[in-house]
Structure 1
Amino acid sequence: MDYDLLTSAEVTEVLSRRPVALLPIGAVENHGDHLPLSTDNLLADGVAHQVAARVPDSVVLPLVSYGQVWSTSAYAGTISLSLETMTSTLVEIGASLFEQGVPILAFVNGHMGNLDAMKLAARDLHDELGMKVLALTYPGIGEISREVLEEERLHPSYFHACELETSYMLRIAPGAVKMEHAKANRPQLPIDIDVSPTPWDSFSPDSPVLGDPTLATAAKGKAIIDVAVAKIVELIEHARRSQ
């Protein structure tokens, strides 16, 4: 159920049931020559709608389509919000929903750069309002990813326009993928990338792709996303039982 398509009477009735609100969060970011700038948005929204189909009394909020994109801000097309702006936006959305009776807010995130903002927003909403907030970025996919992906990821946490993310897109938004332009890019990551701010153009000036997207398939994307969706549903059900 799309929250923004409801009428006044409809949303009043929905809110009376104290629904779970799913907030897809993405970014506008360069994803190489084969994926659109809206990749993270398409994925977050697609996953949120899959979750909503399995969670009774849930609503999908309008997508937050801009994110914190510091690492790839030098690549053409990327648009970034500050951490402060991103965090405040999420807190204010959550507070508005809580005031109307929404007890659980689930951030369904498609962009790794949003992790800090989601964490801070979740803490603020918990401390100030007692709101239950879940920050969800493809949870539970470690084992299935190792099973279905052919290439070892360049970094255990980062993935970008690679076999993994391109497989996601072939599952969620295949019409937006230009596989004929996909090409591998395997830069040498600096040893201090996890402990020091490192713009990606400093080690990969021509492309933000991290890996080989030509290995991607829709079947791989489905296998991994199905696991993530099931885990999100499980976490939401747990949160409901804990209320």
Structure 2
Amino acid sequence: MKSHGTSHTRPTLRLDSTPWPDIATVAAHSHLAVPLGATEQHGPHLPFTVDTDIAVALCERLAMTRPSVVLAPPVSYGSSGEHAHFPGTLSIGRTALEMLLIELVRSADAFAGVILVCAHGGNAEPLHRATARLCAEGRNVLAWLPTGDPADSHAGHRETSAMLTLRPDTVRTDRAEPGTTRPLADLMPSLRRSGLRAVTPNGVLGDPTHASAAAGHNLLDTWATSLDRAVSTWIGSLAQARTPHHP
């Protein structure tokens, strides 16, 4: 992967392996990156942690290029009610997720800002509501989600390729099979009314049968570049807001 930010002047700091005094010395000039995922079914061939795994990987890549980033442990449970008919899916719902994110970011006031990197589309609505409220409170927070083909939105080519790159030992390629390939927007009325299983019995939105690690590398690079650019723009806007303007 190409470097898109400033090279490191210190090792990446992670809350899961760093004592508080080391964080205290840098927090005021650092940005906390929080991966947001989910624990939900991803078809007959992928584990329940796909969204969390991708969010963590993207935060780690961001920290590799930006010395100001401190990595937080992931939020591994999200709003996944639409997957409730698939055993093993664990969901905390939209309201709980929104409040979790609000309180989490409020507790991170020691940092210069918080970057919420979300890899689960079902989290988008509560994430945006939480971000709007936090920004209205004067807190520095950025929410970022990846984009892609609306006909390949869950456990299809993209996510399977990403997992073949990140955790190939968890991918059951012998079980990979196409699911529904209609655009997500067309499916939303039925999905909201009856859940995901009503529109795709195997839990797949897309076709994972031609996924590859090479495609996963390219996809993760593309997402990492997009994330880095969004963070660069956001940090620039924060710096501009701090600069005094004289008539």
TM-score range, shorter chain: 0.7 to 0.9
Letter in 2 for 1:159: S
Distance 2:231 2:196 in 1: 34
Cα deviation 1:98-148 (Å, max 9, x = unaligned): 2x1x232111111110001110111111011x1222211125xx5xxxxxx
**CA–CA distance in 2 between the matches of 1:5 and 1:191?**
41
Deviation digits for residues 18-68 of structure 1, max 9, x if unmatched? 211111011110112210011111111111111111111111111000000
Q: What residue ranges of structure 2 are gaps of 5+ in the alignment?
A: 1-12, 239-247
Residue 203 of structure 1 aligns with an amino acid whose one-letter code is V
Match of 1:103 in 2: 112
In the superposition, relative to structure 1, how do residues 167 and 242 fare at CA in structure 2: closer, same or farther (>3 Å)?
Answer: same
Of 131, 136, 139, 2:144 maps to: 136
1:181 aligned residue? 175
Which residue in the other structure is 1:230 paired with?
225
CA 1:201 to 1:187, structure 2 compared with 1: closer, same or farther past 3 Å? farther
Return closer, same or farther for 1:124/1:14 CA change in 2, 3 Å cut-off. Answer: same
Deviations 1:176-233, CA, capped at 9 Å, x for gaps: 21212211223667986345624111222x3111222111011111112111111211
For the pair 1:168 / 2:153, whether they are aligned, the reply is: no
Would you say the 8 A contact 1:163–1:213 is kept in 2? yes
Q: What is the number of residues matched between the two proteins? A: 224
Q: Which string of whole-angstrom CA distances, capped at 9 and with x for unpartnered residues, describes residues 67-122 of structure 1?
A: 00021111111111121100011111101112x1x232111111110001110111
Q: Percent identity?
A: 28
Q: Which one of the candidate residues 7, 12, 15 is aligned to 2:24? A: 12
Partner residue, 1:146? none
- TM, length-normalised to structure 1: 0.85
Label 1:32 to 1:193 Cα distance change in 2 as closer, same or farther (>3 A): closer
Residue aligning to 2:199: 203
Deviation of the 1:11 alpha carbon:
1.2
Contact kept, 8 Å, 1:162 with 1:212, in 2: the verdict is yes
| Matched position secondary structure for 1:5 | coil
**3-state SS in 2 of match to 1:21:** strand
User: TM-score, normalised to structure 2's length?
Assistant: 0.84
Amino acid at match of 1:135: A
